[in-house]
Amino acid sequence: MAETAMLRKRMSVSASESPEELRPPAWSFVPRAFAPLLVGTVVAGILYFFVQPAIGGFGSNLLLFAGINIILAVSLTIVNGFTGQFSIGHAGFMALGGYTAAAIVYYGSFKIYGDASFHGGLVSWTGRAGGFRGPLLGSGDLLFVGATVAGGIVAAAAGWLVGLPSLRLRGDYLAIVTLGFGEIVRVVLQGTDEQLRRYDLELIRSTPMLKLMNKLGGALGFIGIPAYSTVFWVYLWVAIMLIVAVRLKHSSYGRALLSIREDEIAAQAVGVNITRYKVRAFVLSSFFAGVAGALYALQIGSINAGELGFQRSFEILIMVVLGGLGSVSGATLAAIILTALPEVLRFVDQYRMIVYSLLLIIMMIVRPQGLFGVREAWDLFRRRRPRGGA
Amino acid sequence: MSDAIGDNLLLDVRDVSIRFGGLCAVNKFSLALPPGALYGLIGPNGAGKTTAFNLLTGVYRPDGGSVYVQGKRVDGLKPHQIAHAGLARTFQNIRLFGELSVLDNVRMGAQMRGWHGLPGTLLRTGRYVKAERGIDRHARQLLDIMGIASREAEQAKNLPYGDQRRLEIARALATEPKVLLLDEPAAGMNPQEKHDLMQLIRLIRDRFRLAILLIEHDMKLVMSICERITVLDHGETIAAGNPSEIQANPKVIEAYLGEPV
Amino acid sequence: MTQLIQTLTDGIAVGSLYALIALGYTLVYGILQFINFAHSDVFALGAWLSFTIATWFGLAAGSGATTPPWYIGLAVLALAMIGCGIVGFLIERLAYKPLRAAPRLNVLITAIGVSLLLENVGQLEGMFRGHHFKIFGPYPKAMPALIPDRVLLHFAAVQFRLVDAVVLGTALFLMVAIQWLVFRTRLGMAMRAVSFNHNSAALMGINVSRIISATFVLGSMLAAAAGFLYAMKYAQLKQTADNVWVLLGLKAFVAAVVGGIGNIRGAMLGGIFIGLIEFFGVAYLSDKYRDVYVFSLLIIVLLVRPSGILGKATVEKV
């Protein structure tokens, strides 16, 4: 039968035994892997060296917070948007990462330099413009970057712990657990011991780092952290976050996450180990939330768990939903808009929060799918493929 | 290996049972599918056909009995492990990934046998690109075969009903199964569409040396295509045999038409 | 021994407040399967309405102020409940009803929006076209005493106050009333039918929309009563946007979940349970981690028994 022969020919390739011809040349790996990161670094550099000086203190603060919020919103997109796991404890991961990084940089500085002053290079310089003489990167930057990653790792470990219950819980119940987790983190951090200060230098030096992790200032917050986090670092991480999220979304890995969101039973039927993917989504997402917390703490120079309660988690969640569940560019745009909105609304002063909440309600009623739905900004411009075959 | 599990059996189900509360939903269900089999599972509404599928695919854990896929024992395993063992299925109440594109739905099936590590995904290694291309090619071929290639960019939830059923089959086939369970694949189709679909199912079976078990309500259809039929009623297997035997079986007639007056 | 009994009475008194609020969460969840995050703000509204109404009656906080006759207190409670009932009705009609078919997450975000709105409208105070106006204002206020500060019972060093008796008594009365309403009346039967399945209920001739409204009104009235009782027990009222309200609401929600959300008896049981856990934790472990006990209990219960103590497990149909 002609038809069968045609079928036979068509079915000759399977995914498990893809022919070697599909493999790209080896040399193409480096540009493919790192070109976007290079672009990101350049953009971060431009923002830091050229844009920031031009927009003044108020503008650059907005720029910084927008960047941190982008990381938070996009990281939450991985859990909420891609995987469909409803998490409302994101600020808890942020707090964990922030406090970890703050403690490492603060106490680390005392241990290494004997004081908590700035030891970074040009890209970390937050002082007056032009007042810096020194190399591009300083030894303090190493401490800072290490602390940021450590903050991410601690948050990721917590994400693993919280992800485990998602083996058993669905929907709202998981949301409540994450909410409870966030509150526990907040209360525990607010119950930590008094922060050690400059005059305790000898004590700081003689106490092992792990033991210092309990002296985080309690309800007063952790203060006096040397501020290394600049527009450059924040947007470098924004670039990393965006690359990770976009690459994830357009890969088998991300597709598996999306399939869990769409239908868990069907996902299992095509071989997706849903518990494993859920936990991994949590881990990845909380890593970046921790990084964002670290960037935040080291930018302000202080961190207070009291400000990182469920309200903060809600803010991030709102960005994700407003952008469109599962849309990376949507979350990014929503993060920028929602960072700027309260400032824009300053002219209405005490009605600011009222206008904000009304906008939120109206938005949900008028455009429930968010700005972009599950799609990306660039999908909107792409022309639809013509129907019918060749 | 164990006693009489014929190596040539793709699916071997022995005395599988499950109860929900006091109700025995499926009792001692047994079935054996050799390569190339195209068997049917029929019975009145609520007879336990879909429950039987859920037992085989691990959605429910059987209270007793055993299930072997290609000689490997799978009862008690998680659904995704059973899928990896070579058992694929479609659903009675279509379960597609609605927001994903048609192509992505089939890719989801195809990627089960593909490779996907997280670092490789994020760095776009050569191995990753090759795997993704393989998945892509495989998925497009299946869309071609099922005749829905022209709709690959549409969201699955926007497809017409019949195409959704085809897409589900394509997705299941993409996992390269040895055994395919089809839960009312022709439901909601008109007679011509049903006929075409059955031809296609037969063709697929021939090409892959698959074993196919299908639940179908249209008696005429089942009788015309299936080589062997098992009849369930109230969770009990009341008959098994070839179409003519089934047609002549008084128990089956009774189950379908009610108690003889 | 003294501490034990004192903790027990405090825990039960506060627990009964949690139970009242939890009932509102549970009623709404039972019918719409969504967490009404604005519920804690209705609770705050109940407390502040009680305060405002009490000042209308010319009452003020402070020493020397005599407590008014008992029916004034009852009138304040009734008016606060009516006020919150109306607000609950409006919230459902204006914010949630348009989203009946939308994804759950959207409804949740809307609830958060409503919550923010209530909090911030409550704090309004300012000038409008030359007229000074105020909702509740941005500052904490002291609630006038409506109940004489009397010790009813002495047991060793334990004092059982009249306030506690009123709190407990009112809460118990309302819980029994709700129980009666849900299980013994036509409205209750309709509510149970709607919570079982909207479509079938509609086919049986039940006006689903009206039942949902009724549920919100009912839940809001209970929250108002809890707010009133809270104001009786703790005379200091924080401004409406203060964390205190949301946190109390959250704990009540935890109570609903621990008891088995959607289950009315579960909410009552959970409320008392949470109250006891909280007060025993504070009394015997450490004051610092007050909220940790409650949320840890929540996580443990959900892991061990995801549907709560009295909840029924649901199985998804394939």
Q: Which amino acid is at B74?
A: V
- Backbone dihedral region for residue A303 (phi beyond 0: left; psi -120 to 50: alpha; all else: beta): beta
CB-based contact, B27 to chain C, within 8 Å: no
Q: What is the pLDDT of residues C261-276, one digit of tens each?
A: 888 889 989 999 999 9
* Residue A316, domain member (yes or no): no
Among C118-127, C154-163, C220-229, the range scoring the smallest mean pLDDT is C154-163
Residue range(s) defining the domain that contains residue A170: 32-308
Q: What is the pLDDT of residue A19?
A: 74
> How many Å apart are CA A178 and CA A166, to the nearest integer?
10
The tens-digit pLDDT sequence of chain A (390 residues) is: 445 555 554 555 565 666 777 888 888 899 999 999 999 999 999 999 889 888 888 888 999 999 999 999 999 999 999 998 888 899 999 999 999 999 999 999 999 998 888 888 888 887 655 667 777 888 889 999 999 999 999 999 999 988 887 667 767 778 888 888 998 999 999 989 989 988 888 898 888 988 888 899 888 999 999 989 999 999 999 999 999 999 999 999 999 999 999 999 999 999 999 999 999 999 999 999 999 999 999 999 999 999 998 889 988 998 998 898 889 999 999 999 999 988 887 777 677 788 888 888 888 888 888 888 777 888 776 655 444 333
Q: What is the pLDDT of residue C63?
A: 56
Which residues in chain A touch residue C99, judged by CB atoms under 8 angstroms apart?
Answer: 364-365, 368
Q: Which helix H or strand E contains C155, and what residues bound it?
A: strand C151-155
Tell me the CATH number at A51.
1.10.3470
Helix ranges restricted to H, A77-170? 90-113, 139-163
* Residue A252, domain member (yes or no): yes
Structure-block tokens of residue A152:
């991410």
Closest partner residue to A29 among B125, B151, B176, by Cβ? Answer: B125
Q: Between B103 and C99, where is the model more confident?
A: B103
* Residue A69, domain member (yes or no): yes
> How many Å apart are CA B186 and CA A74, to the nearest integer?
42
* Residue A330, domain member (yes or no): no
Is residue B260 scored above 80 in pLDDT? no
Kindly report the average pLDDT of chain B as a whole number. 89
Does the beta-carbon distance from C316 to A175 stay under 8 Å? no
Q: What is the pLDDT of residue A76?
A: 97
Q: Which helix H or strand E contains A184, and what residues bound it?
A: helix A171-190
CB-based contact, C318 to chain B, within 8 Å: yes
Chain C neighbors (3+ CB pairs < 8 Å): A, B
Q: pTM, whole model, 2 decimals?
A: 0.89
Q: What is the pLDDT of residue A39?
A: 95
* Residue A98, domain member (yes or no): yes
Q: What is the pLDDT of residues B35-71, one digit of tens each?
A: 999 999 998 888 889 999 999 999 999 999 999 999 9
Nearest residue to A364 (alpha-carbon basis) of C294, B218, C101: C101
Whole-Å CA distances, C99 to A144, C28, C220: 46, 15, 20
| DSSP E strands, chain B | 11-20, 23-33, 38-42, 64-69, 72-73, 87-89, 179-183, 211-215, 228-233, 236-241
Q: Which amino acid is at B47?
A: A
Chain A neighbors (3+ CB pairs < 8 Å): B, C
- ipTM surpasses 0.85: yes
Among C3-17, C152-166, C291-305, the range scoring the smallest mean pLDDT is C152-166
Whole-Å CA distances, C248 to A55, A325, C232: 43, 30, 16
Q: What is the pLDDT of residue C86?
A: 96
Closest partner residue to C291 among A173, A183, A317, by Cβ? Answer: A183
| DSSP E strands, C203-258 | 236-237
* Residue A299, domain member (yes or no): yes
pLDDT level of residue C147 (50, 70, 90 thresholds): confident
Q: What is the pLDDT of residue C313?
A: 64
Nearest residue to B164 (alpha-carbon basis) of B228, B232, B90: B90
CB-based contact, B29 to chain C, within 8 Å: no
- Min Cα distance A37 → chain B (Å) is 10
Is residue C281 scored above 60 in pLDDT? yes
Cα diameter, chain A:
90
* Residue A278, domain member (yes or no): yes
Kindly report the average pLDDT of chain C as a whole number. 87
The CATH code for residues C2-125+134-304 is 1.10.3470
Is residue C148 scored above 50 in pLDDT? yes
CB of C111 within 8 A of CB of C38?
yes
Among A289-303, B66-80, B169-183, C22-36, the range scoring the smallest mean pLDDT is C22-36
Closest partner residue to A18 among B116, B130, B150, by Cβ? Answer: B130
Q: What is the pLDDT of residue A93?
A: 97
For chain C, which residues make up each domain, given as ranges?
Answer: 2-125+134-304
Which residues in chain C touch residue A92, judged by CB atoms under 8 angstroms apart?
Answer: none
Angle between helices C208-233 and C2-32 (to 10 degrees): 160
CB-based contact, B50 to chain C, within 8 Å: yes
> How many Å apart are CA C41 and CA C227, to the nearest integer?
10
* Residue A61, domain member (yes or no): yes
Q: Closest residue of A to C304, CA-based? A: A168
pLDDT level of residue B164 (50, 70, 90 thresholds): very high
- Residues C3-30: what's their mean pLDDT? 90
Q: Which amino acid is at A126?
A: T
Closest partner residue to A14 among B57, B88, B176, by Cβ? Answer: B176
Whole-Å CA distances, B12 to B5, B18, B211, C251, C267: 8, 17, 11, 52, 49
Q: Structural domain tally of chain A?
A: 1
CB-based contact, A258 to chain B, within 8 Å: yes
CB of B101 within 8 A of CB of A10?
no
Q: What is the pLDDT of residue A389?
A: 36
CB of A239 within 8 A of CB of A39?
yes
